[in-house]
């Protein structure tokens, strides 16, 4: 399993992802699920991936090849809108899945992969999209300006309670880390290291990209402060009328 | 869908349940999913139900009939241990499902139902069990002394962060309400009113049973205090080193 999310606030976009991959309990490993494609000053994209590892790796290889090839007609370096980029990633993903479809039809292997793509192209607004295994895509709702892929439920309540359009990029970043921490506590198929990237609106480059191990100083401090804070809030909740 | 949970702490048991039932978006209604069977001073049980409504209603009817019939050989009023009670409920559930199995085999109807049974019999320890649709059952793990049925994921992180064996009954009760509130915010198939029951160890009767509408005074106060508290905790979390 996997847990990745992107939060779109007025001041930019937060991206966060875990790193655990597993194909059964005997094949547990760590791969980055966060990939950036930037032409500083012109465009910046971050892609988060979940699902079949062979599919996501093949998609990433093709996206990178096309991006780096200045003769390619269509790539993340040529598209004119973020939704165009989402459409392109969806098509590449479908093509990769179709290529291996025949040989996996008789097995129970699921080739599906989901992606979150976010970023900005100069002169256009910043945006995020969730790309389904079928290649189609959605943007977040106005009331819940975030998108999740993978093991999404454990980490959703804290997003619903904290995130608004006006949340600062740093608070949204901490909220993403707490959302991931909640998920890791509840599901062993989601695991460290955690990657966090902050994109500031009109920055046209990734402003911050940090990788946090489970026992990194900041992870430990955040987890302790969060746990202590929650317990304090619980102590202060209104008593039942019989207490 | 449904969300019910029971928390077993040293001082007793907390039970909580939502009330929403749905068979498609055209058939949304509210039924109690919390049922108590008590012989004050001798034994007290609470049963929480999730799954096919016809199955849970039939099971409840049989349990109540057997409980009220002082000649019945086996019932919640005759069993000697809480695990015996769980075994009995599982058998009744399986019998009910088998009865309608033939006629539903060709349809896609799922007759399955899950239950949480908790309580105490005089002279024995208090305990809780989760009873699967197959009739078998488990008790909670020592490290996570709670059980959930239905839509369990959204409300799990807060339980993992707050609940220990030493948590007081009232704090566990508030934690159950927050867990339910988080679930209701994230999933429309879980809805009010919320029922909360508190069983105090060796009390051999249900100490408190409250039903809370979404806009009841206590629900509103709890939700506001929780939301304000969370936002305060977020404001106080350790800053990133570049802030």
pLDDT in tens, A189-205: 889 999 999 999 999 99
Nearest chain B residue to A172 by CA distance is B234
pLDDT in tens, A41-99: 999 999 999 999 999 999 999 999 999 998 999 999 999 999 999 999 999 999 999 98
Assess A61–B contact: CB distance below 8 Å, yes or no: no
**Chain B interface mutation, best of A154, A157, A189, highest count of B Cβ atoms under 10 Å:** A157
pLDDT in tens, A192-239: 999 999 999 999 999 999 999 989 999 999 999 999 999 999 999 999
Assess A150–B contact: CB distance below 8 Å, yes or no: no
Predicted pLDDT of residue B198 = 98
- Mean pLDDT value across residues A25-33: 86
Q: Is the overall model pTM greater than 0.90, yes or no?
A: yes
Q: pLDDT 10s digit of each residue in chain B, 243 long? A: 899 999 999 999 999 999 998 877 778 888 999 999 999 999 999 999 999 999 999 999 999 999 999 899 999 999 999 999 999 999 999 999 998 877 777 777 889 999 999 999 999 999 999 999 999 999 999 889 999 999 999 999 999 999 999 999 999 999 999 999 999 988 888 899 999 999 999 999 999 999 999 899 999 999 999 999 999 999 999 999 999
CB contact under 8 A, A186 and B156: yes
Strands of A43-51's sheet in order across: A34-39, A43-51, A113-121, A127-131, A137-138
CB of A159 closer than 8 Å to CB of A3: no
Predicted pLDDT of residue A22 = 82
Residue among A221, A229, A238 minimizing CB distance to B233: A229
CB of A178 closer than 8 Å to CB of A171: no
Assess B238–A contact: CB distance below 8 Å, yes or no: yes
CB contact under 8 A, B185 and A161: yes
Pairwise pLDDT comparison (A28 vs B221), residue with the higher score:
B221
CB contact under 8 A, A229 and B242: no
CB contact under 8 A, A156 and B154: yes
* Residue A101 scores a pLDDT above 80: no
Predicted pLDDT of residue B32 = 93
Assess B220–A contact: CB distance below 8 Å, yes or no: no
CB of A142 closer than 8 Å to CB of A136: no
Nearest chain A residue to B239 by CA distance is A170
Report CA-CA distances (Å) from A23 to A1, A51, A64, A109. Answer: 9, 11, 25, 10
Write the ipTM.
Answer: 0.89
Assess B229–A contact: CB distance below 8 Å, yes or no: yes
User: What dihedral angle (degrees, nearest 10) is formed by the CA atoms of A219, A158, B178, A50?
Assistant: -90
Assess B225–A contact: CB distance below 8 Å, yes or no: yes
- Mean pLDDT value across residues A127-143: 96
Residue among A162, A227, A238 minimizing CB distance to B218: A238
């Amino acid at each position: 399993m996997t847990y990745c999310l992107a939060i779109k606030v007025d001041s930019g976009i937060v991206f966060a992802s875990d790193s655990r991959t597993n194909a059964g309990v005997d094949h547990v490993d760590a791969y980055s699920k966060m990939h950036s494609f930037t032409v500083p000053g012109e465009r910046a994209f971050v892609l988060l991936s979940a699902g079949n590892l062979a599919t996501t790796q093949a998609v990433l290889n093709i996206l990178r090849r096309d991006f780096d090839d200045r003769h390619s007609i269509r790539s993340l370096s040529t598209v004119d809108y973020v939704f165009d980029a989402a459409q392109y990633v969806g098509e590449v993903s479908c093509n990769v899945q179709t290529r291996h479809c025949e040989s996996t039809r008789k097995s129970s292997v699921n080739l599906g992969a989901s992606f979150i793509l976010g970023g900005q192209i100069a002169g256009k607004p910043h945006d995020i999209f969730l790309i389904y295994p079928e290649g189609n895509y959605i943007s977040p709702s106005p009331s819940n300006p975030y998108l999740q892929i993978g093991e999404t439920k454990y980490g959703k309540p804290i997003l619903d309670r904290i995130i608004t359009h006006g949340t600062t990029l740093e608070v949204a970043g901490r909220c993403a880390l707490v959302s991931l921490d909640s998920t890791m506590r509840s599901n062993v198929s989601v695991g460290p290291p955690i990657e966090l990237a902050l994109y500031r609106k009109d920055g046209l480059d990734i402003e911050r990209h940090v990788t946090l191990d489970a026992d990194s100083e900041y992870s430990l401090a955040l987890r302790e402060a969060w746990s202590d804070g929650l317990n304090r809030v619980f102590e202060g909740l209104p008593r039942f009328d019989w207490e």
